[in-house]
Amino acid sequence: MREILPGLWDIDEIGSMVHCYLWQWQEGITLIDMGMPGNAEKILAAATQLGYEPQDVKRLIVTHADIDHVGSLKALKRATGAPIACHTVERTLLAHPERRTPARTPLGMVITPLFALARLAPALRVEPILPDELYVDGDKLPEGFTLIHTPGHTPGHISLLHAEKRFLIAGDALHRRGGVLAAPPSLFTPDMENAHRSIWKLWKKYGEEYNTIVFGHGEPLQGNIAAEMKRLVDQLFAAEPGRKA
């Protein structure tokens, strides 16, 4: 377990490939993203280190329905009984994980059959599940989060802003692999135009409300956020003639 900010923990027991976050608040704890299949026991053991039992988990928030973010969702639902929360649009991918495909690019079309075959492997199988709570852009959650719809990587992708504590959970709307802030990978982002618009939204609409960003992939960004976000937005929109960042 690694505490990034008071009350915000990275459950690094599941490894560094993807991040699962634990948020402590007055009613218990909330988990944000649930890692790969087989991670449930490690996630619950990490919560136990902080003195929490499975029944203390009050909500399971899904930023998006990729395997590395929902792989242990069903197991954690069984263990905790906590409601599953996501954007209303993402309900479709939770209920029908086979509909998640790479981008419709030449390379994406080539690997689409491999994508389908990989799902047959038990270690890479995502079980369909229905969420209990559906939210839309701007909704407030009891944990103090404002839900921000950030589509592109998936249609119902969300990021979570905690304005009072001044941090943003970006999910895969952004990543920081190798220490470089960037847009999500194009191969697994079917709608890059909307992905870029979502990054613009996180910066232009909400950029003054956070000074820490945590990601699904990569290390947190703390300090110099304005310069980093401006650089990325300028870079993305400079590539689109006629559009201004």
CATH of the domain at 140: 3.60.15.10
- Residue 244 included in any domain: no
**What is the Cα–Cα distance from 229 to 214, expressed in whole angstroms?**
13
The mean pLDDT value of the chain amounts to 92
Percent of the chain with pLDDT over 70: 89
- Is the pTM here over 0.85, yes or no? yes
Residue 121 has pLDDT above 80, yes or no: no
* C-alpha separations of 52 from 7, 48, 139, 149 in Å: 13, 5, 27, 30
- Residue 16 included in any domain: yes
Helix (H, G, I), strand (E, B), or coil: what is residue 2? strand
pLDDT given at position 239: 60
User: How sure is the predictor about 52, in pLDDT bands with cuts at 50, 70 and 90?
Assistant: very high
Helix (H, G, I), strand (E, B), or coil: what is residue 146? strand
- Residue 224 included in any domain: yes
pLDDT given at position 187: 85
The stretch 31-49 carries a mean pLDDT of 97
- Residue 243 included in any domain: no
| Residues of the domain holding 149 | 2-238
User: How sure is the predictor about 122, in pLDDT bands with cuts at 50, 70 and 90?
Assistant: low
User: How sure is the predictor about 46, in pLDDT bands with cuts at 50, 70 and 90?
Assistant: very high
- Residue 191 included in any domain: yes
Give every strand in the sheet of 84-87, ordered side by side: 2-5, 8-10, 21-25, 28-32, 57-61, 84-87, 133-135
Residue with tokens 């009072």: 164
- Residue 41 included in any domain: yes
- Residue 33 included in any domain: yes
Residue with tokens 């689409």: 112
The number of beta carbons lying within 10 Å of the beta carbon of residue 62 is 27
Strand pairing class (167-169; 212-214): parallel
**What is the Cα–Cα distance from 111 to 121, expressed in whole angstroms?**
16
Residue 242 has pLDDT above 60, yes or no: no
pLDDT given at position 79: 98
66 φψ region: left (φ > 0), alpha (ψ -120 to 50), beta (else): beta
**Cβ within 8 Å of residue 13, ≥6 positions away:** 1, 42, 43, 45, 46
Residue 139 has pLDDT above 60, yes or no: yes
Residue 96 has pLDDT above 90, yes or no: yes
Token couple for 170: 């970006």
Token couple for 94: 């939770």
Supply φ then ψ for residue 23, to 5 degrees: -115, 125
Number of structural domains, the chain? 1
- The predicted-structure confidence for 199-222, as pLDDT tens digits, reads as follows 999 999 999 999 999 999 999 999
Element (H, E) at 74: helix 73-80
- Residue 245 included in any domain: no
Please say whether the beta carbons of 61 and 33 come within 8 A: yes
Residue with tokens 């981008």: 103
The stretch 169-179 carries a mean pLDDT of 95
The number of beta carbons lying within 10 Å of the beta carbon of residue 50 is 13
Residue 138 has pLDDT above 80, yes or no: yes
